[in-house]
């Protein structure tokens, strides 16, 4: 039963994060394309196609992980690949000391920081764990009720909110100590 709970939790985390991310980017793909340009990793001719491919990849992750069955494994692996690419880009920016916005969840003015790297590292962990649980789940039937799935989804949403807002939480707590 624990495997079923872990799999649903990982699915919810990955679906939520990639859904929010892809919808944010889809609302303003030009801001994401500009972010890719600002990363200064790819030649200019690849900025637009990279933005579109990442957006399609994020929507594919949502679809594959939500659909389940055999597709779920591919969804989790695609999530790992995209998150690793994002981490590489973030590390590249941090090492070069660029002060640019990530636009990870849509148009934003938040400057990339180490918190973005660690958020993605945790998400890679959840995607990898989900992939692993999906492999094991092939031999273990999942029989969870709607209430259990809803509860796990709610916990995942709260956890993801805390994870994505970790930088602001740390700042807030730091400011509380100064008062």
DSSP 96: T
| Residue 88 three-state SS | helix
Position 60 scores a pLDDT of 98
Exposed / middle / buried, residue 69 (Cβ in 10 Å: 0-12, 13-18, 19+): exposed
**How far is it, in rounded angstroms, from Cα 116 to Cα 120?**
6
Tell me the C-alpha distance between 92 and 167, whole Å.
20
Query: Which residue range forms the structural domain that includes residue 159?
Result: 2-178
Compute CA 1 distance to the chain's CA centroid, rounded to the nearest angstrom.
26
Residue 175 burial (CB count, 10 A): 9
pLDDT at 108: 75
pLDDT at 128 (0 to 100): 96
Per-residue model confidence as pLDDT tens for the chain (179 residues): 677 788 889 999 999 999 999 999 999 898 889 989 999 999 999 999 999 999 999 999 999 999 988 899 999 999 999 999 999 999 999 999 999 887 777 767 888 889 999 999 999 999 999 999 888 876 555 566 888 888 888 998 898 888 888 888 888 888 877 76
The whole-angstrom separation of Cα 101 and Cα 108 is: 6
Q: Which residues pair with 111 in a beta bridge?
A: 101
pLDDT of residue 143: 66
Distance separating alpha carbons of residues 59 and 131, to the nearest angstrom: 18
Residue 76 to residue 56: CA distance in whole angstroms:
15
pTM for this model (two decimals): 0.85
Tokens representing 129 are: 């764990």
Residues 6 or more apart whose CB falls under 8 angstroms from that of 166 comprise: 115, 118, 119
CB 86 within 8 A of CB 120: yes
Q: How many structural domains comprise the chain?
A: 1
The answer to whether 148 and 155 are in contact (CB under 8 A) is no
């Amino acid at each position: 039963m624990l495997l079923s709970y872990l799999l649903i939790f990982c699915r919810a985390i990955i679906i939520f994060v990639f859904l929010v991310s892809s919808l944010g980017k889809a609302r303003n793909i030009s801001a994401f394309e500009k972010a890719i340009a600002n990363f200064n990793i790819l030649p200019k001719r690849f900025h637009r196609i990279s933005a579109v491919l990442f957006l399609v990849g994020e929507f594919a992750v949502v679809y594959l992980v939500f659909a389940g069955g055999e597709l779920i494994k591919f969804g989790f692996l695609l999530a790992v690949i995209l998150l690793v690419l994002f981490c590489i880009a973030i590390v590249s920016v941090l090492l070069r000391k660029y002060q640019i916005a990530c636009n990870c969840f849509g148009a934003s003015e938040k400057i990339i920081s180490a918190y973005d790297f660690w958020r993605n590292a945790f998400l890679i962990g959840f995607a990898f764990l989900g992939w692993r649980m999906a492999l094991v789940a092939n031999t273990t039937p999942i029989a969870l009720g709607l209430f259990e799935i809803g509860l796990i989804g709610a916990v995942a949403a709260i956890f993801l909110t805390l994870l994505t807002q970790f930088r602001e939480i740390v700042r807030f707590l730091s400011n509380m100590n100064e008062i």
